[in-house]
Structure formats: C-alpha cells, structure tokens
Amino acid sequence: MDPFFFDADGASLFGCYHAPSSPARGCALVLANPFGHEYVQFHRVFRQLAIMLADAGFPVLRFDYTGTGDSSDDYPEWSLDRWTKDIEAAVKEVQQRAGSEKTAIVGLRLGGTLALDVAAKMGTVDSLVLWDPILRGGPHVEEIRAGHESMMGYAHVIAKPDSGCPPEVLGFAFPDTIADELKGIDLLESRGEIAKRVLVIESNEAEPQQALCDWIAATKADLTYEEISNPHLWVWLEDFAKMHVPRKLLQSIVDWFSEGYA
C-alpha cells in the first residue's frame, strides 16, 4: 500500500494506492467515502475492502475528499461539486498509476450518490457499486439532525448555543451551505447512461433501494441487486471501539468484480 498526496484542482488530497497482489485484472477501482461520522466509522472497512480487492487482482485507490480525513482544507471548503471533482481526479490518478483504461467506482452512502453523478458526467466508468446511496437529500438531512438531537439528549454533553460555533451534527460542523446542497439531492433524476455494470447493495431495510434499481434497470446497465442486512452500521457511536467490519458484504463486492473481470 502506498500512501501519498495528490493534487485536485489546488487541493491536496490524501490517497492510499493498493497495487494488485495477484495478476492484474483489467479495471482500476476508486473507493468513494461516506461523509462525517460515517467516514470515521467506515475507514477500516474501506481499508479492508481495498486489501481484498487488491488481493483479487484489482488496483485500488482510497482517498479523502477536500476538507475531510487527511486531505487539505476544512469545512468552509466543503461542497458536493468540489467532492464530485475530487472523485474525478481520483479516477484519473488511479488510471495513471495502474495503467488501466477501464475504471470502476465503489461508493458508500454519500460516496455512492456522488459516484453515480461522476459516472453520468464522465461517461467512461465501466462499473459502479452503490452501497446504500442516499437517494433523497431532504430526509437524509432530517435523519442526521435527528441523530444529533438524540445524541445531545443522552450523551454526557452540554449545549452552548452562544459559543459562536457553526451548526453541527455528531461531531462535525454542518454549515447551512452543505445542508442545503444535500437537501437538493435526488438520485432518481434522469441522468442518462451511467455504467455498463451496476451493483446496488442495500444493508438497511429502513432505506430501501428499490426505486433506484427500477431507475437503473431502465438504463442499459447490467444491474445486480444484493440485500445483505447490516442495519446499524452507520449509527453514531460514542464508544468507537465497537466498530466492526461487515465481511460478508465486502466479499460480495469482491465476488461481483471478480466475475465481471475474470
């Protein structure tokens, strides 16, 4: 694994490149992170996924969006447009490193939502994995704000409304600019072709992905839908030692890629 920084339109993004450890298959992969506390909780999960995919012969790039993780900047620079461009830059970076023309994106939660946008925009993404993507931003914003209120109710914390801090959710700033952008998400808006192969993973039945599957089925994409129940994966945890890696779910992603690029 090779950790490094790469440039994306002036931002310095942190990435980890996993070279394939078995004979390389003809597709390079980018992993697109979720956002906020979900990113922190899923960091090790994505690392494990990258290792499993590299062991199966896929070059993989994990990276942090502008203003998140180890990358440069902070919340004032957050925007969905910026992060979409970051994924595009990561796709170019992994193509260059792996010497592969075909690329695929695996996106989790907000990463899935952004990955679909990138695939529609670039038109060259061969495969796409959408793992519990956020379909509609309005309910998502309500959900994370409700999660924050709930945490404020039971955790050993005291609110200080006059502290001068920006609006916040579950440990991170949540400025109105990003909240408004998130509210505008409607993944079922028409976008045209997205990718040749698409895998949709639903791990939480409270957020069904059927509407997305219907929408994708109407495009020319070869759609696979997997329901693997892991409903509490992204619930905020104060006791972060309880995070776990959903091995079965990760293996299903590796198997799907291995079948597609035998």
> Kind and range of the H or E element at 114?
helix 110-122
Under DSSP, is residue 163 helix (H, G, I), strand (E, B) or coil? Answer: coil
Q: Which spans of this chain sit near another protein (rule: CB under 8 A)?
A: 1-5, 12, 14, 16, 37, 40, 43-44, 47, 68-70, 72, 74, 151-160, 163, 165-166, 168, 170-173, 238, 240-241, 243
Q: Identify which of 96, 84, 76 has the alpha carbon closest to the alpha carbon of residue 6.
A: 96
Task: Give 14's strand partners.
Answer: 5
Nearer to another protein by Cβ, of 172 and 234: the residue is 172
Q: Within 10 Å of residue 186's Cβ, how many Cβ atoms?
A: 11
Q: Identify which of 244, 249, 247, 212 has the alpha carbon closest to the alpha carbon of residue 227.
A: 249
Q: Whole-number minimum distance, CB 78 to another protein, in Å?
A: 12
Nearer to another protein by Cβ, of 3 and 208: the residue is 3
Distance CA 183, CA 165 (A): 22
Q: Whole-number minimum distance, CB 236 to another protein, in Å?
A: 9
Give 34: exposed, middle or buried? Use CB within 10 Å, 0-12, 13-18, 19+.
buried
As a whole number of Å, the end-to-end CA separation of the chain is 23
Q: Whole-number minimum distance, CB 81 to another protein, in Å?
A: 21
Distance CA 245, CA 238 (A): 17
Please give the C-alpha separations between residue 201 and each of 101, 105, 210, in angstroms, as whole numbers: 25, 14, 10
Nearer to another protein by Cβ, of 90 and 125: the residue is 90
Q: Whole-number minimum distance, CB 4 to another protein, in Å?
A: 5
Look at the block and give the residue holding tokens 């790039």. Answer: 61
What strands, in cross-sheet order, belong to the sheet with 125-131?
2-8, 11-18, 60-63, 28-32, 103-108, 125-131, 197-202, 222-227
Q: Whole-number minimum distance, CB 145 to another protein, in Å?
A: 14
Nearer to another protein by Cβ, of 163 and 190: the residue is 163
Nearer to another protein by Cβ, of 16 and 120: the residue is 16
Nearer to another protein by Cβ, of 70 and 142: the residue is 70
Nearer to another protein by Cβ, of 26 and 175: the residue is 175
Q: Whole-number minimum distance, CB 156 to another protein, in Å?
A: 3
Q: Whole-number minimum distance, CB 149 to another protein, in Å?
A: 12
